[in-house]
Each structure stands twice: as structure tokens, then as C-alpha cells.
Amino acid sequence: MATLDDHRDGPRDECGVFGIYAPGREDLSRLAYFALYALQHRGQESAGIATAQLGGSVLAIRDQGLVSQVFNEHMLRSLVGDLAIGHVRYSTTGSSEWENAQPIVRDDSRTIALAHNGNLINAVELHTEMRERGVPFRSTSDSEIIAALLSTHPADDVEDAVADVLTRMRGAFSTVIMTEDRVIAFRDPQGLRPLALGKIPGEHGAPDVYCVASESCAFDLIGARYEREVAPGELITLDAEGMRSRLVAPAQRHAFCVFEYIYFARPDSIMGAQRLQVARARMGEILWSERPVEADLVIPVPDSGNAAARGLARAAGLPQDDGFIKNRYVARTFIQPGQALRKHGLRLKFNPLPEVVGGKRLIVVDDSIVRGNTTRQIVQMLRDAGAAEVHLRISSPPIKHPCFYGIDMSTREEMIAHGRSVEEVAAEVGADSLHYLSLEGVYKAVRGERSAHCDACFSGEYPLAGTEDSGGKFALERVELPLAARR
Ligand code: SF4
């Protein structure tokens, strides 16, 4: 059952990562803190920062909770150092326990702190192989497998270890690691999850400071400039020599997650060389051109439908207004309502405005529908508030297949679009009409080539062999590593 904090019953992203090499900056841990703060939407279960002084030891603080809950002034002051990495997490592999919070720190033949966004599809195989070699594990997360592969690797140079390990892992991994003297970032050969490079220009002859983050919105908050995306299969090193790059795992086919453009990433981030707010507005324009309808007013489902609603209203020449007021203070710790109140549950998050929607033929814009529970309630609330007609416009195609690449989605059977026509979904949620943006429309809006992206949750065409969706069951079970593996 969806909880209140999960009002959109939608997919949840797994993680956000950050890394910076900034010797001499007294505010190092503060830079990491604010970068994570900007990435909070990518994971709200745990947060952590690890720092190191050049040649010294690695310090780490991580815990369950939001960035603002995990860290206080005293903790940030204690995290001294010259380089840092950070992480926010929502778990898809491994349960939500303290041990699974990141950065993970392993101290085997070398010390490695690691922050990972993604999902290894050969985690069980790699884990078994390592346990047979006697490598102990503390957590149930696939991310510790990457840390262990690197911390036990025989190569003298950690970059050579990364280059080797990168070719042995399969799946999605945008990863940032830290040793006592460098930060290394790398991305899987398909580039499934995002990773960007930023720079704080040096002032008065000081060297430039480089950083990496899941999204460019993290750079804006710390005075860094977005430089470029880390390329799929690329290894980037930040150390005393500045920034170095090696393409260590070129792939014939890239497969960046197209859902990042539509849903996961913050609208002020830049991906695929464009500001997502702008791309999302284009999605709204194309939605209108694909299926216009006679209507009086366009309203977004806040905030997920805001940008597309603006684009749609502009293209349609229709007025746009707020049909709902959103309570922005519904926290994850919110006390769940009892059974009697549950049917009003969504009102704790959204309250419709009868004066705005009453008697109107509405176009209601949102970015996705997964299970449909929330959408059904939204349509009903609008009808109760007096709406004459409710026409739903969704800025993504129907979600019909699960994700194996780091996004937690419902199972296929729970997805309302699975096995139903668009008309049947419209009837299920009680809308007068429903239109989903076509895949062609998505690629037109993001100005990208389909051949360089993953759209498996819409199309069922998985870019990695072994993750084909198999008749309503997960082809690959969620990896829950055996408890016996813990130390
Ligand atoms: S399956 Fe969907 S959510 Fe998962 S990586 Fe592909 S496009 Fe993204």
C-alpha cells in the first residue's frame, strides 16, 4: 500500500553521488553537504559523507535519514580533509539498514570509500565468487561488492584496478570512489545512470577545483560550473595533477535512462546538453499536438506536471492555473491516517480549489502513471470539486515493464498500463480522456536518438542481455544477499 510520502505511487530513484578534490578548502565537508542537499530528491533513506586528508586516513559519517537530519554543524566540522565523496540513498538492492548506508568504506589491501548509483545485474555471481575467495561482507548491498572488488584488487595502481573491475561488472553503475589521495569517478559502458563533471574555477592563481555529481543541480549550489557529462565507460581521476580522463570500457551501444529526463532528475539539472525544465515544457507542447481536446483550463499535478502543463497550455493557447494546493511539508515520518481517514489521505498532500476547477473542462497534466491509485484519487477529487470534464495528459508513455537498472518500480502486474489499452486505463482512473506522450514524442522533446537510450520500462526492449522482461515476472530477482555473508 502506498504511504503518504509516496503519494505518486511512482518509481523511486535509487541514489545520488558526489565527489570533490579540493585541498586547502576549509569548507570541504560543507561543499559535500550542500551538494547532497541538492541531490536529496534522488534518495531520502540515508545520507553520508566521507573525507580524507592527503596521505591520511578516511573519515566517514553516514546514517539513515535526510541530509539535514543526518548531519549537524559539529559533524561537518569533524569531517576535515582535502577530498570528499557523498551519497544519498533509496535502496533497491539490499534492505534499508544502517549497514547499507553509503559511502561504504573498506580497508582491505587498500582503503576505498565508495558511493554508487545503479544496480549490478551480476551481483550474485560476483558476490559468490568473492566469498569463495574468503572476502567478508558487512552489508547486503551490491555497492559493497564494487568496493570489495577494488579494495582487494592486486593491481598496484587503483586506477588500473578500476579499469579492470569496470569490465567485470554488468548493469548500471555511476560510481565515485575515494582513496587517501584521489577521487575517481566512473560510469558503466552503457551510461545507464547520470554522472556529470563540474569545476569551481580557481581564483587569484589558485588551481581549479573539480567535482562530480549525479546531477548538475548539485554544482549550482556550491559555485561550480557544469563542464560536461562523464562519458559511458569513462574513468575520471581528480588528484594533485588536476583532472585526468581515460575511456576504459567503450561500448557499441549507449543506453542512458530516458526516464531521467521525464521524471527523476531535477528540472534545473542539465542532461543531454539541455535544461530539463525546457525539455519537459517541450513534452507538454508535443502532448498537445499529439492529442488536442476541447477544454477551458490546463492544470498540473504539482510539482511533477508543472513544466509539461506550461508547455501544453502555451501550445494550446489555453489558460493555466493551480487546480490544487500542495502541502509541501508532508514528511516521510508523517503519522499514517487510520482506515477511516485513508480515503482522504491524498488531501493531506493535494487539496483541489473548487473556485478554480468548478464547472471547467480540465486538461490535467502529470509526468507518469504507474499503479494508477493516485491518479484515480486525483480525478475523483477534481470531480468532487465540481470539474465538468477531466482530460488526462501524461508526459511519458505507458509504463508496462519493470526496471533492473537502479529504479524501484512496481511489478508488472501492479502497473495499470500492463495488459490494458489506453481507453481501459482512462476508464480505470475515471478520466474523460487520456493520452500518453509517444516514445517518438519523448525523443523529439529531449532531442535525443533512441539508439543511445534505455526506454525498457515503456518498450520492454532491455539494452542488456539477461534482463529481458519475462512474462510478468522479474527476469532477475531483486538481489538480497544472504545474511550469512555479513561479518
Ligand atoms: S527501464 Fe526505464 S527507468 Fe529503468 S533505466 Fe530503462 S528507461 Fe530508465
Confidence of residue 341 (pLDDT cuts 50, 70, 90): low
* Ligand 1 atom index nearest CA of 402: 1
Query: Ligand 1, from 254, 450, 457: best to mutate by most atoms within 8 Å of Cβ?
Result: 457
pLDDT exceeds cutoff 90 at 442: yes
The pTM of this model reads: 0.91
All three cell numbers of 252: 557499441
* pLDDT score, position 394: 98
Query: Ligand 1, from 259, 260, 442, 474: best to mutate by most atoms within 8 Å of Cβ?
Result: 259
Nearest CA to 445 out of 292, 306, 258, 264 is that of 258
Query: Ligand 1, from 173, 257, 418, 437: best to mutate by most atoms within 8 Å of Cβ?
Result: 257
| pLDDT top residue among 23 and 10 | 23
Cβ atoms of 415 and 403 within 8 Å: the answer is no
Q: Is 21 in the pocket of ligand 1 (CB under 6 A)?
A: no
* pLDDT score, position 92: 53
Residue 8 corresponds to which amino acid?
R
Per the annotation, the verdict on 15 as an active-site residue is yes
* pLDDT score, position 345: 63
* Ligand 1 atom index nearest CA of 192: 5
How far, in Å, CA of 91 to CA of 332, rounded? 15
Nearest CA to 35 out of 215, 225, 196 is that of 215
User: Worst-scoring range by mean pLDDT, 207-221, 290-304, 334-348, 355-369?
Assistant: 334-348
Q: Is 457 in the pocket of ligand 1 (CB under 6 A)?
A: yes
Q: What is the CA radius of gyration of the chain?
A: 23
Cβ atoms of 153 and 164 within 8 Å: the answer is yes
pLDDT exceeds cutoff 80 at 465: yes
* pLDDT score, position 467: 77
Mean pLDDT of 364-388: 95
438 CA to middle of ligand 1, Å?
16
* pLDDT score, position 7: 37
* pLDDT score, position 141: 84
Mean pLDDT of 362-374: 95
Ligand 1, atom 8: closest residue by C-alpha: 257
Q: What is the mean pLDDT of the chain?
A: 89
All three cell numbers of 272: 543531454
The one catalytic residue among 15, 257, 403, 454: 15
* pLDDT score, position 342: 57
Q: Is 405 in the pocket of ligand 1 (CB under 6 A)?
A: yes
Residues 86-134: pLDDT tens digits?
Answer: 999 986 555 556 778 999 999 999 999 999 999 999 999 999 999 999 9
Paired with 174 in beta bridges are 117, 187
Q: Is 121 in the pocket of ligand 1 (CB under 6 A)?
A: no
Could you identify the residue written with the cell 592563481?
205
Fold of the CATH domain 278-448? Rossmann fold (3.40.50)
All three cell numbers of 438: 509517444
Ligand 1, atom 7: closest residue by C-alpha: 455
Nearest CA to 287 out of 440, 465, 143 is that of 440
Mean pLDDT of 265-281: 96
* pLDDT score, position 343: 58
CATH 3.60.20.10 fits 4-255, yes or no: yes
260 CA to middle of ligand 1, Å?
8
All three cell numbers of 145: 561488492
How far, in Å, CA of 365 to CA of 267, rounded? 16
Residue 417 corresponds to which amino acid?
A
Residues 289-340: pLDDT tens digits?
Answer: 999 999 999 999 999 999 999 999 999 999 999 999 987 766 544 455 555 5
Mean pLDDT of 31-45: 95
DSSP code, position 486: B
Tell me how crowded residue 301 is: count the other CB atoms within 10 A of its CB.
24
470 CA to middle of ligand 1, Å?
16
Residues 400-432: pLDDT tens digits?
Answer: 999 999 887 778 888 999 999 999 999 999 999
Domain range summary for the chain, segments of one domain joined by +: 4-255, 278-448
Confidence of residue 13 (pLDDT cuts 50, 70, 90): low
| pLDDT top residue among 305 and 466 | 305
Distance of CA 316 to the CA centre of its chain: 31
Q: Is 456 in the pocket of ligand 1 (CB under 6 A)?
A: yes
The SS3 call for residue 75 is helix
* pLDDT score, position 140: 76
